[in-house]
Amino acid sequence: MATSTLQNAKRNKADEFYTQLSDIEAELKHYKEQFAGKVVFCNCDDPFESNFFKYFAMNFNFLGLKKLIATCYDSSPIAYTQMSFFDDAQPTPNKNRHAYKIEISEVEDYNRDGAVDMSDIEWLLKNKKNSLSLLKGNGDFRSAECIKLLQGADIVVTNPPFSLFREYVAQLIEYGKKFLIIANKNAITYKEIFPLIKAQKLWLGYRNINADMWFIVPENYAYEKIIDGKKTKHIMGCWFTNLDTTKRHEILTLYKQYSPEEFPKYDNYDAIEVSKTADIPYDYDGLMGVPITFLDKYNPEQFEIIDGIGRYSILNNEATKKAGKYLSMVNGQAKYFRYIIRKTKGGNK
């Protein structure tokens, strides 16, 4: 069942979005100390195509990794031939696809050219056969052998299929893993994800939530523009993590004064509408509805997340769905999804 579900997701949802190396570098530069001595698992990444694998392989020694593991679903069309992220490589199709894994425990200057680079990774994979091996199954992240690899990992870093994001995150939480993953920005509103954000088990990474991402897409996908010779498509992507960030400890300075005229109450919910995070009033201690971009400034020491409302309340969705009305409505005008928050004690900064 898991196999057919993943196959359908990949076919019907067009989930093959490859993250640009520049986006990976821009985010991961903030977590160097947290990777030292850790086993990193990229469990949705074909190493022959993934920039996540390229980043960690290239920075293996710089980050002080203990081990890097990457698994792919149903193998790469160029597996065992040439690696597509080598500038001089011309992909050769491999019709006999098999799911496989790559495990790296050390990276050295194997070709003795005075530097550790991707040519050394290529040499490693071609000459140390135990670093690349076939999987028994199809590489589904929910398969028994991939779960076993997950259990032995410290941090998971990848771009999972957006259509399976709920299930993917549930697995990470179940096994108590640290993670840094990419998702569609709308995942912030999912009823399965909201409780994790509320309970401080998941939060945003460093990238600004309004800075949407451009992903590399396969040749047969629709695309919007060419970046560095690659077809790309604009996606509302953002980073989710449970690795600590300095960002989530920064105090948001509040300067606005409350007035009923500027901050009206919702028609169907006992909270005021604050249309911009920067306008949160410093002198109001009740419930406030803020846009999802608030999470970019969310400091749990300053604010408490209470609920999420749109067409319904996340905390009471069945009851409010039946009402058939938006809860985030002001003077009859529906607002987009809102997080309901209030300031903590000492939060009037």
What residue segments make up the domains of the chain, in order of their start? 2-246, 250-343
pLDDT number for residue 323: 63
| Architecture (CATH level 2) of domain 2-246 | 3-Layer(aba) Sandwich (3.40)
Output phi, psi for 247, to 5 deg: -60, -40
For the record, the structure tokens of 196 come out as 């994790």
Beta strand 272-273 with 288-291: parallel, antiparallel or unpaired? parallel
Q: What is the pLDDT of residues 195-229, one digit of tens each?
A: 999 999 999 999 999 887 888 887 778 888 888 88
Provide the b/e sequence for 45-69 (b: ≥16 CB within 10 Å).
bbbbbbbbbbbbbbbbeebebebbb
Nearest partner of 10 among 143, 164, 157, judged by Cα: 164
Instruction: Provide the whole-model pTM.
Output: 0.86
Distance CA 51, CA 85 (A): 8
DSSP of 299-335: -TTTEEEEEEESSSBGGGHHHHHHHTS-SSEETTEE-
CB 328 within 8 A of CB 269: yes
> Could you report how far apart the first and last alpha carbons of the chain are, in Å?
52
pLDDT number for residue 346: 65
Task: Kindly give, in sequence order, each residue whose CB lies less than 8 Å from that of residue 174, ignoring residues fewer than 6 positions away.
Answer: none
Amino acid (1-letter code) at residue 211 = A
Distance CA 223, CA 216 (A): 9
Distance CA 304, CA 346 (A): 12
For the record, the structure tokens of 27 come out as 């985010």
pLDDT number for residue 107: 87
* Gyration radius from the chain CA atoms: 23
Distance CA 52, CA 232 (A): 17
Provide the 8-state DSSP code for 38. -
Q: Which residues of the chain have pLDDT under 70?
A: 1-15, 74-97, 129-130, 318-319, 321-324, 346-349
pLDDT number for residue 90: 37
pLDDT number for residue 324: 62
| Cα 188-153-67 angle, rounded to 5 deg | 120
- 3-class secondary-structure state, position 264: coil
pLDDT number for residue 119: 84
Beta strand 225-227 with 230-235: parallel, antiparallel or unpaired? antiparallel
For the record, the structure tokens of 205 come out as 């990474």
Distance CA 80, CA 78 (A): 6
Distance CA 145, CA 140 (A): 9
Q: What is the pLDDT of residues 235-277, one digit of tens each?
A: 888 999 999 999 999 999 999 999 999 999 999 899 999 999 9
- 3-class secondary-structure state, position 221: coil
